[in-house]
């Protein structure tokens, strides 16, 4: 991989005396424990992409929280999955058409249960401040094509919190938008990059070879996962985190496939 080759050249002297400081991307592909990624937090138990869900994931000893980043009309990076606020708040409208003040005033918890009434849509910076050093963070840029320049904004915040180097914290940036991830790779050369895969056409030998040029994680829908696919990704130097496991049977299937991480609404399903 291009990025890995550059790191080897740049860090070879240091690694002679500090091999334990190698980055996540440089770990061997052979097997250790499967990491637990709490999808939008422990979203099976608390409203997705809220502090309640992220805190629950930490309490459940997940290895990562997965978060979705978008941008408000006035330029604030916020954590929300859909490109509208309709499903997960009591408001309506596109995320990119609402100001931060408007989005912050919404209730992001009552849709799931009255026990979560008053939960707010968090900012990306709040998540970095609260969870840095406590848990890994898998950052998805959600529909980045709607938010020109969002890669630079995310990169700048990660650098501000000294999270742009995997040796410091477990942080990964991923997206379904491959061009966006190529850009993120340029902006964050020492950050693990992930590609989200939901099409069989992106699982070919040629596609995997192309992804491996800039990505360290190949993250397919569980419906695409086979032992052969996992092996091909590993042989290309990438790890595999699969999504989204919402049943114990799916979790067991992914464990049997020897993936490196399971992205799940129910972190406690992964033993």
- Which residue from 63, 46, 76, 50 is spatially nearest to 154, judged by alpha carbons? 76
In the residue annotation, 81 being an active-site residue is answered as: yes
CATH superfamily of 31-68+137-269: Phosphatidylinositol (PI) phosphodiesterase (3.20.20.190)
Distance between CA atoms of residues 30 and 199, nearest Å: 26
Q: What is the pLDDT of residue 168?
A: 53
When pLDDT is averaged across residues 75-96 and rounded to a whole number, the result is 98
> Which of 31, 32, 39, 162 is labelled catalytic?
39
Count CA atoms closer than 13 A to 231's CA, side-chain side.
4
Distance between CA atoms of residues 190 and 196, nearest Å: 19
Distance between CA atoms of residues 19 and 210, nearest Å: 28
Cβ-contact 261, 39 below 8 angstroms: no
Distance between CA atoms of residues 37 and 39, nearest Å: 6
Contacts of 189 (CB under 8 A, 6+ apart): 3, 6
Helix residue ranges per DSSP H, 21-106 = 51-59, 100-104
Q: What is the pLDDT of residue 118?
A: 96
CA angle 105, 108, 110 (to 5 degrees): 115
Q: Which of 17-26, 55-64, 86-95, 236-245 has the lowest mean pLDDT?
A: 17-26
Tell me what the pLDDT averaged over the chain comes to.
90
Q: What is the pLDDT of residue 271?
A: 80
Residue count (the chain): 271
Distance between CA atoms of residues 264 and 251, nearest Å: 8
pTM, rounded to two decimals: 0.89
Distance between CA atoms of residues 234 and 237, nearest Å: 5
Q: What is the pLDDT of residue 64?
A: 98
What pLDDT digit, counting tens, does each position of 169-215 carry?
A: 599 999 999 999 999 999 999 999 999 999 999 999 999 999 999 99
Q: What is the pLDDT of residue 29?
A: 45
According to DSSP, the β-strands at 217-220 and 193-197 are: parallel
In the residue annotation, 39 being an active-site residue is answered as: yes
Longest CA span, the chain: 56
Distance between CA atoms of residues 70 and 128, nearest Å: 15
CA angle 166, 170, 171 (to 5 degrees): 80
Assign residue 120 a region (left: φ > 0; alpha: ψ between -120 and 50; beta: otherwise): beta
Q: Which residue ranges make up each domain of the chain?
A: 31-68+137-269
> Which of 31, 81, 162, 234 is labelled catalytic?
81
Q: What is the pLDDT of residue 179?
A: 98
Cβ-contact 215, 194 below 8 angstroms: yes
């Amino acid at each position: 991989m291009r990025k890995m080759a550059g790191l080897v050249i740049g860090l070879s002297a240091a690694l002679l005396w500090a091999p334990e400081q190698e980055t996540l991307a440089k770990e061997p592909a052979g097997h250790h424990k499967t990491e637990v990624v709490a999808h939008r937090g422990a979203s099976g138990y608390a409203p997705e992409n809220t502090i309640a869900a992220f805190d629950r994931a930490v309490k459940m000893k997940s290895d990562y929280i997965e978060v979705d980043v978008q941008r408000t009309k006035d330029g604030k990076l916020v954590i929300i999955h859909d490109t509208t606020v309709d499903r997960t708040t009591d408001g309506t409208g596109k995320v990119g058409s609402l100001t931060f003040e408007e989005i912050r005033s919404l209730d992001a918890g009552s849709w799931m249960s009255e026990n979560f009434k008053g939960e707010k849509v968090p900012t990306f910076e709040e998540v970095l401040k609260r969870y840095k050093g406590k848990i890994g963070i898998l950052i998805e840029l959600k529909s980045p094509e709607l938010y020109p320049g969002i890669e630079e904004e995310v990169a700048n915040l990660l650098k501000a919190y000294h999270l742009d180097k995997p040796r410091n914290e477990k942080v990964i940036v991923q997206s379904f938008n491959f061009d966006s991830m190529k850009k993120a790779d340029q902006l964050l050369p020492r950050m693990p990059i992930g590609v989200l895969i939901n099409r069989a056409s992106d699982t070919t030998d040629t596609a995997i070879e192309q992804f491996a040029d800039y990505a360290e994680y190949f993250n397919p829908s569980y419906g695409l996962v086979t032992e052969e696919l996992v092996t091909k990704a590993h042989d290309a130097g990438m790890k595999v985190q699969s999504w989204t496991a919402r049943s114990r049977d799916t979790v067991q299937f992914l464990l049997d496939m020897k993936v490196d991480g399971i992205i799940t609404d129910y972190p406690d399903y992964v033993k």
